[in-house]
Homo-oligomer: A and B are copies of this chain.
């Protein structure tokens, strides 16, 4: 019972290491659950209903971030959890301790027998855009076993989907030309919060991460520049034990600090920077030289420690020109404070001036500017409006903690048991569940975009393209539409059956690609936009509508007014 997990190498990184690739195996185990799952399991078992066939749907009721779409993620983690599901002896010992003393001993023998072999899992493909009420996963099998999975599955789907959606929204805001880097590890909610964030931000649309472990485990490209402490740690060139660098081709040795100092002197004469030399920090120049000696071919400098325009940019250009003399090309600079729009434009002006000094310096026009510092979706949109010259955003806290809404509210609801549909009623109509095992379809219109999702009873015939399909709002009687589909996609595949994986899993990069297509090619712009996006329609067939409302009335008690 072992997956054939994707082992392809992304970006020159090592192949993923089978079941260990997600690095959280030690935590995702049967006891990572709410205690009530175990008490309920005991009660089902005790009263003999534990093996009744049951169907549970995983779905959410509202898209996050005031948006109208969600990216589904975490499926592979769920499947791996089910594949490895087995109570260890020490788990059983612990459960004995926390259940009442008079609990029946045979229950623990029953617990020992449990695994995922009698479960079936259908799911939407990972990375798909999904909408409220439509099941992301449908899990069926013995009632008690299904019940035991609830908390772990929700934990694995909720945050993965939330952070992938957040990343996709950042991508929407930034457009396709900007490089987006995830820098959130230090502010993430725990070590795994950071690792999960790096993985699912990449899937959702980011280009790389600062998180080295995520790079190692998942093959995500890792990126990084330097910290203020690096700049602060250098006061004078005397501190450098090595100041020389060899020419890239001729291997001739030069004093990079001396050369950079000369370049700086020349630059201060050639271009009007509006500063006096005493303002341009020597400590900063030393730090840049140290970094350039280490990374002559990928020099990227943090230039805001002292003053971006009065010190940082001048030192950066000086070292870059010195490197250029020795056959190397700088990668760019990073700003981590101040007015990012203004600073990036001012930097570009200066880079263009430098480019004009010499035909060989033309590459300076397109010098990469990386910006970080508390960036969120709104900051990016505001920067877009103000115009900016930033090529790459480094995003941390807002991205990984999903500051705007730090939890997705997926739920796990019983929808059928022993072939009987189950409905969870509520005075709040949005909380009523759609009963029964369902088939779900995505209906595409003539222009190629998705129009709506349609849920049907399992025994209904499949809808066909180019035929009229009556689609109804699940709860509002008057909302109906006839739809003529250009294309229909079945949303669910069977991913797990009879103890083995039933559909091959895509690689991380395939999932990432699927997110991109699912959003940009299938979803109309008005569903995606930031301000007042149009809700995407989720509907039910006529038969499911009747079935749902019949069951609703049947289950809702008739009150008596006094």
Interface residues, chain A, with chain B CB atoms under 8 Å away: 12-14, 23-29, 31-40, 42-44, 46-49, 52, 54, 56, 90-91, 93-95, 97-98, 100, 102, 143, 147, 150-152, 154-156, 158-160, 163, 183, 185-197, 210-213, 215-216, 222-230, 232-235, 239-243, 274-276, 278-281, 290-291, 293-295, 297-298, 305-307, 310-311, 337-338, 397, 401-403, 406-410, 412-414, 417, 420, 422-428, 557-560, 562
Contact = CB atoms under 8 A, between A and B. Distances in A.
A286 to B, nearest CB: 9
A188 B43 contact: no
A81 to B, nearest CB: 9
Contacts of A211: 32-35
A39 B56 CA distance: 48
A7 to B, nearest CB: 15
A326 to B, nearest CB: 13
Contacts of A222: 35, 98
A97 B14 CA distance: 9
23 contacts: A23-B26, A32-B213, A35-B222, A36-B225, A38-B212, A43-B226, A48-B240, A49-B241, A100-B295, A100-B297, A151-B210, A155-B185, A155-B191, A159-B188, A189-B189, A190-B192, A190-B196, A229-B424, A279-B560, A305-B425, A306-B425, A337-B426, A397-B407
A226, A281, A294, A307 — most chain B CB neighbours (10 Å):
A294
Contacts of A12: 97
Given A159-B190, A422-B233, A185 B224 contact: no
A447 B34 CA distance: 44
Copies in the complex: 2
Given A48-B241, A187-B408, A189-B189, 6 more contacts: A32-B212, A47-B240, A94-B212, A98-B212, A150-B229, A274-B562
A225 B35 CA distance: 8
A13 B212 contact: no
Nearest to A56: B229
B401 A224 contact: no
The 10 A-B pairs of least Cβ separation, nearest first, read A48-B241, A192-B192, A35-B224, A36-B224, A43-B294, A401-B406, A189-B189, A154-B186, A34-B210, A229-B414
B228 A424 contact: yes
A158 B143 contact: no
Contacts of A159: 188-190, 193
Given A186-B155, A227-B40, A191 B13 contact: no
A226 B40 contact: yes
A216 B155 contact: no
Contacts of A29: 213
B150 A46 contact: no
A48 to B, nearest CB: 3
A32 B195 contact: yes
Given A32-B185, A190-B189, A190-B196, A422 B232 contact: yes
A274 B559 CA distance: 10
A227 B222 CA distance: 42
Contacts of A37: 224, 227
A233 B417 contact: yes
B27 A192 contact: yes
B43 A230 contact: yes
Contact of A26 (B25, B274, B306, B420): B25
A323 to B, nearest CB: 13
A407 B412 contact: no
B185 A158 contact: no
Nearest to A417: B233
A46 B189 contact: no
Contacts of A243: 47
Contacts of A163: 189
A281 to B, nearest CB: 7
B409 A156 contact: no
Given A193-B192, A213-B31, A274-B562, A143 B47 contact: no
Nearest to A404: B406
Contacts of A26: 23-26
A410 to B, nearest CB: 8
Nearest to A409: B187
Contact of A43 (B33, B295, B427): B295
Contacts of A427: 337-338
B43 A291 contact: yes
Contact of A213 (B27, B143, B297, B306): B27
A402 B185 CA distance: 17
Nearest to A74: B190
Q: Which among A13, A39, A306 has the highest number of chain B CB atoms within 10 Å?
A: A39
Nearest to A209: B35
A188 B155 contact: yes
A271 B40 CA distance: 31
Most buried by B among A191, A212, A413, A428: A191
Contact of A24 (B27, B298, B401): B27
Contacts of A23: 26-27
A222 B408 CA distance: 24
A348 to B, nearest CB: 22
A190 to B, nearest CB: 4
A420 B235 contact: yes
